[in-house]
C-alpha cells in the first residue's frame, strides 16, 4: 500500500507533469529547463547518498524504521502540495521562480528517496526466502495500480476542465500530495516495526553509529563480495533507469506527445509495466533474480537503441507512433527490473541488517549536445550494467548471507545479552 501511495510523487512529480511544468512554465526555456531539471534531480540523489547511512543508523539504533518511513512520507506530501504555490508566489521565467521550484522539489525528492530506502528494508521481514521475489513483485505491482488510478483521474479532469496546458497543472500537485497522505493510512496502522540490532553501547551520537556501521561494512566486504558486485552493476544500470524516469515526459514531448495525449501515453506504458510486474512475480523466484534482471536489461538496451536509431535517422520530425511502440519496451523494462533488484539485495543481505550521475550526465548532454548523443549515453548505462551483472554469482551471494545469519544465531545462543533485539 505504501508503494501505491508514493506512486503519486514518482508519477506526477518526477515523471509526467512537473518536469514539463518546470521546463515550460517555471523556466520558460526548453534547453535551459532540461539542464536545470537534471541538476535538480541529481542534487537530490547525491544528498540521499550522503544521508542514507545516517538515516539507517537512526532507524536501526532507535528501532524507528516505521516512524521514519511515515515521517518522510508526510514531509514529502506537504512539499509536493507546496509546489502548487509556485504560480502565485513567483512569475514564470524569473530567477526567483526557478530557485523556489528547484528548492522545493529537491527537498521533496530527498525525503521521497530516503523513504524508498526505508521501505525496501521492510521486505525481508514481510516475506520468507522462498517468497521474497513474489512479495517484492506484489508491492511493485501495487505501485502500477496506483499509477493507473492517478492517470485515470488526471486524464478525466484534463478532458472535463480543459487542463491540457501545463500552466493549468498546479491542482495536480495538490492531488499528488493528498493521494500520498491517504495512501499511508494502511501502512501506518498494519505493519509492525521490524526487529533490529541494538545500538553499540559506546557510541555517544547517532553519527558515530553511522560511521561505525560504514566501517563494519568495509571490514565485512569480503563476506559480501557478490552483493558489492551487484551493487556496482546496479549503480551503473540504475543511472539509466533513473534517467528514463526523470526524462520520460520530456522525451515524449520531443516526439510531439503533449497535453492529454501525454497522459494517454503514460497510461499505456503503465499498463505494460504493471502487467510485467505481475507476470514477473510468478516466475522470478524460480528463475532467479540475476537472470530476471539480465532479461530486462536486454529489453532496456533494445528499447534505448530503438530510440537512438529514430533520432539519428529522423532527428527533426520523428513519427509519434514509433515512440508509442518503443514505449511498450520501456514499460516492460520498468515493470520487471525494479522488483528483481529489490529481491537480489534482499537475498544477498543478512536478514537483520543511485542514479544521480546518470541523470546529471543525460540532462547536460541532452541540453548542450543533442538528443542522439544523450540516448547513446543512456544505452551505454544499460550495456555496462549488464556486463558487470554477469560477474555476479547469485548462489554464492545467498550462501554468504545465510552464513552470516547462522553465525549471528549461534552468537545469540552463546551470549544472548550481547546481542539484544529491539522489541
Alpha-carbon distance 411 to 407, whole Å?
6
DSSP bridge pairs for 421: 197
Banded model confidence at residue 404, pLDDT cuts 50, 70, 90: low
Interval 142-181: pLDDT, tens: 888 899 999 999 999 999 999 999 999 999 999 999 999 9
Alpha-carbon distance 293 to 297, whole Å?
6
Banded model confidence at residue 195, pLDDT cuts 50, 70, 90: low
Overall average pLDDT of the 344-348 stretch: 59
304, pLDDT greater than 50: yes
Interval 221-262: pLDDT, tens: 556 677 777 777 877 888 888 888 888 888 888 788 888 888
DSSP alpha helix (H) spans, 121-169 = 132-161
- Grid cell locating 69: 518511513
Tell me whether residue 270 is in a domain.
yes
Interval 36-80: pLDDT, tens: 998 999 899 888 878 887 787 777 777 788 889 999 999 999 999
CATH code at position 234:
1.20.1250.20
Alpha-carbon distance 9 to 343, whole Å?
23
Tell me whether residue 44 is in a domain.
yes
Alpha-carbon distance 125 to 127, whole Å?
6
What global pTM score does this model have? 0.77
What domain range includes position 87?
2-190+206-408
CA–CA distance from 172 to each of 11, 54, 236, 367 (Å)?
11, 33, 33, 27
8 A C-beta contact, residue 327 and residue 276: no
Of residues 117, 372, 76, the one with CA closest to residue 238 = 117
Tell me whether residue 420 is in a domain.
no
Tell me whether residue 232 is in a domain.
yes
Alpha-carbon distance 168 to 24, whole Å?
12
The mean pLDDT value of the chain amounts to 80
Question: Residue 38: is it exposed, middle or buried by C-beta count within 10 angstroms (0-12/13-18/19+)?
Answer: buried
Tell me whether residue 111 is in a domain.
yes
Alpha-carbon distance 5 to 7, whole Å?
5
Block residue for cell numbers 524504521 = 65
Q: How many structural domains does the chain have?
A: 1
Tell me whether residue 418 is in a domain.
no
Of residues 148, 177, 173, 147, the one with CA closest to residue 25 = 173
Tell me whether residue 181 is in a domain.
yes
384, pLDDT greater than 80: yes
Tell me whether residue 139 is in a domain.
yes
Amino acid at each position: 500500500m505504501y508503494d501505491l501511495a508514493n506512486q503519486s510523487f514518482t508519477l506526477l512529480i518526477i515523471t509526467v507533469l512537473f518536469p514539463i511544468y518546470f521546463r515550460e512554465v517555471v523556466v520558460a526555456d526548453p534547453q535551459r529547463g532540461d539542464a536545470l531539471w537534471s541538476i535538480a534531480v541529481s542534487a537530490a540523489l547525491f544528498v540521499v547518498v550522503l544521508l542514507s547511512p545516517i538515516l539507517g543508523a537512526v532507524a536501526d539504533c532507535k528501532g524507528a524504521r516505521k516512524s521514519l518511513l511515515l515521517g518522510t512520507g508526510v514531509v514529502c506530501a506537504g512539499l509536493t502540495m507546496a509546489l502548487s504555490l509556485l504560480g502565485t508566489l513567483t512569475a514564470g521565467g524569473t530567477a526567483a521562480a526557478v530557485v523556489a521550484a528547484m528548492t522545493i522539489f529537491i527537498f521533496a525528492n530527498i525525503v521521497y528517496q530516503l523513504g524508498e530506502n526505508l521501505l525496501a528494508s521492510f521486505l525481508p521481514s514481510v516475506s520468507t526466502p522462498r517468497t521474497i521475489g513474489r512479495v517484492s513483485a506484489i508491492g511493485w505491482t501495487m505501485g502500477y495500480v496506483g499509477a493507473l488510478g492517478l492517470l485515470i483521474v488526471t486524464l478525466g479532469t484534463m478532458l472535463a476542465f480543459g487542463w491540457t496546458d501545463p500552466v493549468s497543472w498546479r491542482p495536480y500537485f495538490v492531488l499528488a500530495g493528498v493521494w500520498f497522505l491517504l495512501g499511508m493510512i494502511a501502512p501506518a496502522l498494519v505493519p509492525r516495526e521490524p526487529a533490529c540490532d541494538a545500538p553499540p553501547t559506546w557510541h555517544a551520537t547517532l553519527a558515530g553509529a553511522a560511521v561505525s556501521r560504514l566501517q563494519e561494512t568495509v571490514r565485512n566486504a569480503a563476506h559480501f563480495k557478490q552483493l558489492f558486485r551487484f551493487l556496482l552493476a546496479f549503480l551503473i544500470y540504475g543511472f539509466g533507469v533513473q534517467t528514463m524516469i526523470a526524462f520520460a515526459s520530456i522525451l515524449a514531448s520531443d516526439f510531439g506527445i503533449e497535453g492529454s495525449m501525454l497522459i494517454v501515453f503514460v497510461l499505456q506504458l503503465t499498463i505494460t509495466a504493471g502487467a510485467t510486474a505481475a507476470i514477473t512475480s510468478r516466475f522470478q523466484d524460480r528463475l532467479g533474480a540475476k537472470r530476471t534482471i539480465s532479461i530486462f536489461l536486454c529489453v532496456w538496451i533494445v528499447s534505448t537503441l530503438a530510440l537512438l536509431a529514430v533520432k539519428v535517422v529522423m532527428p527533426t520530425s520523428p513519427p509519434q507512433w514509433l515512440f508509442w511502440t518503443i514505449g511498450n519496451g520501456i514499460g516492460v523494462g520498468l515493470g520487471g527490473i525494479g522488483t528483481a533488484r529489490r529481491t537480489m539485495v534482499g537475498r544477498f543481505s543478512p536478514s537483520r541488517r543511485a542514479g544521480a550521475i546518470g541523470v546529471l550526465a543525460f540532462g547536460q548532454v541532452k541540453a548542450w549536445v543533442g538528443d542522439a548523443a544523450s540516448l547513446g549515453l543512456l544505452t551505454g548505462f544499460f550495456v555496462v550494467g549488464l556486463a558487470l551483472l554477469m560477474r555476479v554469482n547469485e548462489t554464492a551471494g545467498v550462501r554468504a548471507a545465510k552464513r552470516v545469519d547462522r553465525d549471528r544465531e549461534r552468537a545469540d545462543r552463546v551470549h544472548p545479552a550481547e546481542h539484544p533485539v529491539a522489541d
